[in-house]
Chain A
């Protein structure tokens, strides 16, 4: 009897599995996502836009003979030409140079603001979602209060308290984005917490920390990644808005929003002074949104064929 059983169980699946051994490779869910993403044309365009801006920012000193602070007063408000690809502004600074150096600022603002919001938002979201009860109560109500303000108004208030500078604008943008990440992670954690494999992890005797960081976090990464890329766009836009209002980067830093604000008096006289920074803000935000949308599709199991 025992022998028979053994034979049966040995015959069944391993034999079948042996036959399929060559065909099935271990494919990780992340590799599937990357493959899916490469098929998406719009996401590819987004990547090209962002990489172009990163390269321009990185190699700014090599791309242009001018410095971003260098004023040539006789060349004020010159239209685009071979010498000044995007023209010059009201104090005779080369706009292309300022755009290139400005790419550094905008991308840095996006990166640090989003990273800050991502770390704190995810942490609070995980804690609120996993432990529930009063912990969730307190954290969620604080998020609600923050979300009740229009985000730019909250950012202005924070900058007003801290003082106007690029660094403080960055901190303000990070803070206003925390509840966005927090709520997203919290809702994902709440649904995951009821999953059987989380119960299984508890049944095996895992500690809370291990369950949160090894089981819940990896399974809630998809929406976090999407929000991160989309967050880059809004963070850059917010930074530009604060710059435009004079609350972000201070002169002579070539911040795009600030450039836009400084040149709005010349909109009829020298439109190129506005078009260049405005277009750059739009392109970068568009690029991140295209990547974000592509990632959302690639990570969504319902979109898989």
Chain B
């Protein structure tokens, strides 16, 4: 049985808003608010949610690229929330990230070889020759060729660049890779290639992914379990099939009802949500979703629902299932 690789509990990230004459604190954007989940070894955990719901912030806070405001992150049974920058730096060989924008995440002045070999240079004792070998090997693994090594990022297409980004993340055989919308900047046809590559790499190298995306079909394709986020909170988390077939949270239900069906005869009841996402700087009281929830009750306005296991391995934060 798989054991937990990463445990996140009570993760919070609030960005302070300063203003006025002396840059006083006049408020805070609650980008991530009290998030808890566990990632098992070898699984792909998908995280979905609309823009601005705190998905990417979550990913970066786990890697401490953004310092979390509160909460505890445990990686391989070690608490990494408060370790020093130097210890964290060493740990980064096991925890990697693939970025959303393949155009912005590669240094334009470095060759592909330098980009991919740099993590090897920092974390391993390999000789220059061995590093070069490894770079060529990695390029083959991600579906590029050894002769690409001497080129510069601007000479590649978006899909190829994303492959370079993946090769860079793989360089030191990490255990966990956080994929921060790795395919949303790509064409649909290229998306599937990259997704297939990523699931193949997972099997081949026994990787664990946290896969962040806003595209429900992409997440469905690749994930084992899926978490749904709304306004900095996780509202539902369960197995992929359960979530897509029997969603419990009203927000998940609304989200899934918006996915177009391929069969024109299937009549679906579209749940249209009213209003806009509230401002994360002043989130609603009680359940953050109550302002738009079609099933809102009085209790939802006052008490924030806990994120509880409603059924086996099916977590949901909603008063309907208390």
A residues near B, CB below 8 A? 2, 5-6, 8-10, 12-14, 17-18, 21, 24, 26-29, 195-197, 199-207, 210, 214-215, 218-219
Contact = CB atoms under 8 A, between A and B. Distances in A.
A202 B196 CA distance: 27
Interface residues of B, number: 45
B168 interface: yes
Contacts of B119: 204-205
Contacts of B92: 203-205
A17 B160 contact: yes
Contact of A197 (B60, B93, B104, B148): B104
Nearest to B123: A205
A17 B109 contact: no
A207 B63 CA distance: 16
B22 interface: no
Contacts of B160: 13, 17
Contacts of A18: 145
Nearest to B107: A197
11 contacts: A9-B143, A9-B193, A26-B155, A27-B155, A29-B154, A196-B99, A197-B105, A197-B106, A204-B96, A205-B89, A205-B123
A117 to B, nearest CB: 24
A215 B118 CA distance: 11
Contact of B200 (A2, A21, A196, A202): A2
B96 A203 contact: yes
Contacts, number: 104
A110 B37 CA distance: 62
B145 A17 contact: yes
B196 A9 contact: yes
A207 B89 CA distance: 8
Contacts of A21: 147
Interface-centre pick from B107, B122, B147 (highest chain A CB count, 10 A) = B107
Contacts of A10: 143
Given A203-B63, A204-B92, A205-B92, A195 B104 contact: yes
A195 B108 CA distance: 11
Contacts of A219: 107-109
Contacts of B130: none
B197 A26 contact: no
A101 to B, nearest CB: 41
A52 B193 CA distance: 58
Contacts of A13: 143-144, 157, 159-160, 163, 193
Contact of A26 (B93, B151, B199): B151
Given A14-B145, A219-B109, A196 B104 contact: yes
A5 B196 contact: yes
A282 to B, nearest CB: 36
Contacts of A202: 65
Enumerate the 6 nearest inter-chain pairs by beta-carbon distance, A residue then B residue, closest first.
A205-B92, A196-B104, A26-B150, A5-B196, A196-B105, A205-B89
A29 B152 contact: yes
A206 B152 contact: no
